[in-house]
Every structure is written in structure tokens, then in C-alpha cells.
Amino acid sequence: MGLLNLFGKKDVSADLGKRFPYDVRTEFVPYKLKSRQKTTSSLVVRLKNTTSEPLLSSIAIDVPKQLSLDTLGLAKQKEIRLGTLAPGEEKESRIDINSDVGTEKGEYTVTLTAFAHYRDYGHVLNAMKKTAILEAV
């Protein structure tokens, strides 16, 4: 008998660790940035819980050094805590990605990581990464 069974809770960590618990969809609005100018594109992230259990969820975004997540051009990483997603629930988040005068023409890889947590945000049960390409013209 497991410790969780003693308190009437079932241990679902073995099932959640085997497969990805999320359906992640991303899109950019507008889908291109202007090079050598201060412009903004919003990364729209839709995260859906595909399991039969509620999940404490968060996402982390990483951008290359030519882009930033704030208007000053300093933030390259950002974490957004989404709270608990019920089974089948979907949440949408918008993250602004900024270019500046140092952004050259080309394609830039934006990395998104979705985390499933247990107990609190310090304990990660499972994670999945997705990359998206943002073009500067």
C-alpha cells in the first residue's frame, strides 16, 4: 500500500510521466517583425490538458539575444504560471516579443516549454518543448 493510498489519493505520476500531458498550439500575430525597427509581435499560446487529471501548469518562453520579451530589450526568458488546468481545459496566453534596431533580417527560433507540476511550481512532473520560427523582414 502506497502512502498516497493511505490518504485516499491515487498516484498518477507514473501515467503522466510516460506521455505528454498537453496539446500546445502557437501562432504569431502579426506573423513577421520588421528588422532594424522597434516592432512587436504577440505569441499566442493555447495549452490544453489532455489527461484525465487536473494539472498545475506553467509555460516558459526563451528568445534569442536579438529579440526581447520587454520594451527595454533586456528580458530573454519569461515564465507564466497558469494555475490548475482541469481535464480537457484550455488556457490562452499572449506574450509580446519585441525587436529593436539591432534585429537583422532572418529567422529566429522561439522556444516554448510547457511544465506539469506537482505540489507546487518548484516540483516538475513532466515537461515538453516546442519551437516556433519568427521571421524578421
Do the beta carbons of residue 42 and residue 32 sit within 8 Å?
A: no
Q: What is the pLDDT of residue 109?
A: 97
Please state the rounded mean pLDDT for residues 67-90.
Answer: 96
Residue 9 has pLDDT above 80, yes or no: no
Q: What is the pLDDT of residue 10?
A: 52
Residues ≥6 apart with Cβ < 8 Å to 75: 68, 69
Cell of 19: 506521455
- Could you report the per-residue pLDDT of 51-75, keeping only the tens digit for each? 999 999 999 999 999 999 999 999 9
Cell of 50: 489532455
Give the 3-state secondary structure of residue 5: helix
Q: Which residue type, as a one-letter code, is found at position 115?
A: F
- Could you report the per-residue pLDDT of 14-50, keeping only the tens digit for each? 555 567 899 999 999 999 999 999 999 999 999 999 9
CATH of 12-136, one of 1.20.1250.20, 3.40.50.10300, 2.60.40.10, 1.10.760.10: 2.60.40.10
Domain-wise residue ranges, the chain: 12-136
Checking DSSP bridges between strand 22-29 and strand 32-33, what pairing results, if any?
unpaired
